[in-house]
Structure 1
Amino acid sequence: MIDRLSGISVFVTVVEAGSFALAANRLHLSRSAVGKTIARLEQRLGVRLFHRTTRSLNLTDDGVLFYERCLRALVEIRTAEALLENGKQQVSGRLRVSMPVLFGRLCIAPVLTTLAREHPGLELDLSFSDRVVNVVEEGFDLAIRNGPLPDSTGLVARRLGDNRMTLCAAPDYLARCGLPSNVEELVQHDAISYRRTGVIRSWLIPQADGTVREVIPKTRLLMDDLQAIADAAVAGFGIAWLPCWLIRESLLKGELRRVLSEIPGINFEMHAIWPQTPHLPLKVRLAVDALVSQLPSRMVF
Structure 2
Amino acid sequence: MQGTIDGFSYGVVTPVVAYVMACLGGALGLRCTIRSLRETSAWKPGWLALGAASIGSGIWTMHFVSMMGFDVAEAPVTYDVQQMVLSLVVAVVVVGVGVFIVGYRGATRPALVSAGLITGLGVAAMHYIGMAGMRLNGRIEYDTVAVTLSVVIAVGAATAALWAAVSVHGFLASLGASLVMGVAVTGMHYTGMSGIVVHLHDIDNSQALAGDAATSIMLPLLIGPVTFLLLAGVIVMFDPLLVLGEGEWSAPGTPARGQQRTAGRTQPPRGASPAPLRSGPTGPGSPYPPRSSRDTPTW
Query: In which range does the TM-score fall when normalised by the shorter chain?
Result: under 0.3
Higher helix share: 2
Bigger-Rg structure (1/2): 1
Higher strand share: 1
User: What TM-score does the superposition give when structure 2 sets the normalisation length?
Assistant: 0.23
